[in-house]
Amino acid sequence: MARKAMLIDESKCTACRGCQVACKQWNELTGWEYSKTVNTGSYENPPRLTPQTWTRIKFTEYDSRQGFRWLFLKEGCMHCGEAACVDVCPTKALKKQADGRVTVEPDLCNGCGYCSQFCPFGIPKLEVASVITGQAKASKCTFCQDRTDNGLSPSCVKTCPAQALFWGDRDKMIAAGKKRVETLKTRGFAAVNLYGEEVVGGLGRLYVLIEKPETYGLPADPQYPAMAMMWQNVIQPLGKIAIGGTVLGTFVAWLIIRRNIKMEEVE
């Protein structure tokens, strides 16, 4: 199946935050802890992703050569080609779908939170009922699985009035993104770039950025975590061999000693 992707053209985003509302409405997410607006010294709201906020517009205030300006970034799960969250999930609640979407099945989640700690972008959030008992559920953007399963676009894409969001086959999105980058270059955006084509197995969320990724607070070169690789591909298989080998070894040792020892002589 062709890999799907979302293309986000940050040169068009007006920070109306219609996507935030559409996401909450479609996925039935509550206002949660930010139901009361707090002044964080910025126009951005809410101040970060939460278990009930799967996407949000991040505001970066910065001094360009043309003077003060805002950069808008639509945050959310990148649907990585090599998704560490899926690899470390011990319950298979996180799944990589055939078309590349990384989905969450809340009924399977046991709240361990490994996904939240191994994601190179820090995306999955835990709704923690109690730190003591460890009762929790992880959640994140699923590209509106129930919509996209049925051939619709994610609700944020559907709603975006600035037409900054696109949904479709990943190669088409890449081609469109590259074309947009060229256009913007001719209009004088020197630093414009397409983010996510190659990193971490290729992201399912592609950005047209008008400044360098670091200026937006995105990692320039995000990496699949080395610890996840070590843990899943080295330690766990070797551990199984070590434990199995010990059981087998002691059994063989028992067979040998049983033949060599006469119990009557044992004191």
Partner 1 sequence: MNGQGEEAGHIFQIRWIPKYTFVERLLHWIHTASFIPLVATGLVLYLDTLKPLAQGDAGQWMRLVHRLIAVLFIAEPLVYGILQPRRLWLHIKEFSFEKDDLGWLKNAFSYYVRGKHDAMPPQGRFNTGEKINGMAMIVTWILFVVSGLIMWFGKGLVSAELFRWMVVVHDLTTIAALCMFIVHFYLAVAHPLMWAALVSMRFGVTSATYAAEHHAKWYYGPKRAMELYEAKKRNDSH
Contact residues: ligand SF4, CB under 6 A: 77-80, 83-85, 102, 119, 121, 123-124, 140
Count of residues that bind partner 1 according to CB under 8 A:
49
Are the beta carbons of 204 and 45 closer than 8 angstroms?
A: no
229 is a contact residue toward partner 1 (CB under 8 A): no
Q: Which amino acid is at 174?
A: I
Strands 4-9 and 205-209: parallel
How many other CB atoms are there within 10 angstroms of residue 236's CB atom? 10
Tokens of 98: 């055939």
How many whole angstroms separate alpha carbon 110 and alpha carbon 93? Answer: 9
Residue 103's DSSP bridge partners are 95
Toward partner 1, which CB reaches closer, 49 or 164? 49
Are the beta carbons of 92 and 28 closer than 8 angstroms?
A: no
By residue count, the chain amounts to 267
Choose among ligand SF4, partner 1, none what residue 219 binds, the Cβ cut-off being 5 to 8 Å by kind: none
Considering only the stretches 29-37, 74-82, 151-159, 256-264, report the one whose residues sit in contact with partner 1 under the rule CB under 8 A. Answer: 256-264
Toward ligand SF4, which CB reaches closer, 57 or 80? 80
Looking at 14, 32, 134, 191, which residue binds partner 1 (CB under 8 A)? 134
Q: Which residues make up the interface to partner 1 (CB under 8 A)?
A: 88, 90-93, 107-114, 116-118, 122, 126, 131-135, 225, 227-228, 230-231, 235-236, 238-240, 242-243, 246-247, 250, 253-254, 256-258, 260-261, 263-264, 266-267
